A and B are shown apart, each in its own frame.
Chain A
């Protein structure tokens, strides 16, 4: 192989001794912000996001950047493969001094508004975000909320690419893996992440 090899030879004995030095410390902790899940008609699960979330330092900082801050909520039923995604986008227009907000729920229902004040934004934020439609009278969900800088619109090409690779006509159908990829592939480094477990009964 080749005209000369640059590789450094090591012997197994030395290697095993060296391996003992390497210590891996998985120590990731998600932010723990309290939230409420509510059961809605039609066995729909919604989440009530607290306004304090918008006041957290990193989130607040990006909200004031004049660029879009995107919140992606992924709900996955425990012991089931599929997941669904809802999305909130918030951008402060520096010149019009209004909040441009957009909410896309798991079933594609969209709400787009121009809010004149931060108070109006907080009020709009506290409205329930519909996350999931359950099949039975009881459902247990793992919910992840990821805060991203920039709009995720530019990530659509990736989603379409994965969608085509998986032979899907639209997100939300097809194999759970591809659905998960489409639902959760993100294109920017997260500002913040939250994770909750919820059990909701519709009886």
Chain B
């Protein structure tokens, strides 16, 4: 009797254990179809492509969550909600993605005047969080063409922490093609007109090619050929006029590996961004100078400058959402470069240097938004950073390096909506 009872217990247990074991295993879902809802302007094909999910494949919740975060980081999607529906057969599912789109006209205003303790002048910093892409548009229009194309016009900016590359703003018009040959790769071709520098720029091409390696990793290659100036000027001489060409251009190649698990493109509150970006730049300037003339009747001297530089930027930032009210972050960005500067005016001058920099940053942000996150959010941010730069040694001039150490604190208000992102604030800098 007892033996029978024990056998029954074992039998029941053997039936029960697999059930429990199945529940203990993280769920996986066979996705036979992906459906995008609420897509009015955004192409559903682009949304599906950007999830990196493929129909007819099994995914875990972790992978689906990573895909939803990936969509949330797209600048033209405000939020993406995932749900499942029954598929054609048992165990098969339809993944339903309900998106909230941003407006076709958009802005990214990120202005924080930074006051300085030694000057009355203040500077406005843009895209000031570590790991920020340097080509983010400030204002513009985005339209979807066909199933996988996007055209855009707007004002973009290019800036980084390296001293041998040129920072500038440009009016840009371009086209992005997603999911090239079904590989999830994308390519953007831009024509840009720089402005804001001392000279008026000429139309310059830019090509950005990117391929997602995993749900969180992307490799991009950015090729810029920027012409800041190209003009012919007539300079009065003893007899008549001398025509002098003025040219200023930069070729820049940047390869970037990015690991990104953050939940938003511009105001992340959770996740990690790691960026490793080797950069190579070649800038050529030719002009003229009157400085070396011995008499006013002499023609001006030709001036030429060639700057060759290569370096690497590495940044790491991590955001923790402690609750839906509080979020903190920590980050570090560092870079090294080797710069060869050749100036040819009367006599050639060669200046080589190996500048480095490091930025350490911490921030706290408080959620001011009480509405649905589908409509955006609003936060108050407090941030502090320490910046150290070593500008030399300039080997031909001095064996000693120059250091600059700066502390910075800032407070800002951030509002993200379907129209764009607005960050307004105020900062203060102390020089050590």
- Using a CB–CB cutoff of 8 Å, the interface residues on chain A facing chain B are 1-12, 15, 18-19, 22, 24-29, 58, 62, 64-68, 74, 91, 94-95, 100, 102, 112, 114, 144, 146, 149-151, 153-154, 158, 162, 180-181, 184-190, 193
Contact A180 B167 (CB under 8 A): no
Of the residues A7, A185, A186, contact of B124 by C-beta under 8 Å: A7
Q: Which residues of A contact B29 (CB under 8 A)?
A: 66
Contact B159 A10 (CB under 8 A): no
Contact A19 B426 (CB under 8 A): yes
Contact A94 B426 (CB under 8 A): no
Contact B321 A22 (CB under 8 A): no
Q: In whole angstroms, what is the CA distance A95 to B325 when docked?
A: 37
Contact A94 B84 (CB under 8 A): yes
Q: In whole angstroms, what is the CA distance A184 to B326 when docked?
A: 10
Interface members, chain B 353-385 (any A CB < 8 Å): 366-370, 372-373, 380
Q: Which residues of A contact B115 (CB under 8 A)?
A: 12, 15
Contact A2 B163 (CB under 8 A): yes
Contact B65 A187 (CB under 8 A): yes
Q: In angstroms, how far is the closest chain B Cβ from the Cβ of A93?
A: 8
Q: Which residues of B contact A68 (CB under 8 A)?
A: 27, 61
Q: Which residues of B contact A154 (CB under 8 A)?
A: 60-62, 65-66
B 183-198 binary contact with A (CB < 8 Å = 1; else 0) = 0000000000000111
Q: In angstroms, how far is the closest chain B Cβ from the Cβ of A70?
A: 10
Q: In whole angstroms, what is the CA distance A192 to B215 when docked?
A: 26
B320 at the interface (CB under 8 A from A): yes
Q: In angstroms, how far is the closest chain A Cβ from the Cβ of B84?
A: 3
A-B contact pairs, 8 of them (CB 8 A): A2-B166, A28-B367, A58-B372, A67-B82, A74-B323, A149-B68, A150-B61, A185-B321
Q: In whole angstroms, what is the CA distance A67 to B67 when docked?
A: 14
Known: A1-B163, A186-B270. A11 touches B324 (CB 8 A): no
Give A3's nearest chain B residue, CB to CB.
B166
Q: In whole angstroms, what is the CA distance A5 to B372 when docked?
A: 40
Q: Which residues of A contact B27 (CB under 8 A)?
A: 68, 91, 100, 151
Q: In whole angstroms, what is the CA distance A153 to B370 when docked?
A: 27
Contact B167 A4 (CB under 8 A): yes
B83 at the interface (CB under 8 A from A): yes
Contact A3 B169 (CB under 8 A): no
Contact A193 B166 (CB under 8 A): no
Q: In angstroms, how far is the closest chain B Cβ from the Cβ of A76?
A: 11
Q: In whole angstroms, what is the CA distance A100 to B26 when docked?
A: 12
Q: In angstroms, how far is the closest chain A Cβ from the Cβ of B391?
A: 8
Known: A7-B125, A11-B122. A185 touches B322 (CB 8 A): yes
Contact A185 B320 (CB under 8 A): yes
Contact A67 B64 (CB under 8 A): yes
Q: In angstroms, how far is the closest chain B Cβ from the Cβ of A159?
A: 11
Q: In whole angstroms, what is the CA distance A100 to B66 when docked?
A: 22
Q: In whole angstroms, what is the CA distance A171 to B338 when docked?
A: 46
Known: A2-B167, A151-B61. A27 touches B323 (CB 8 A): no
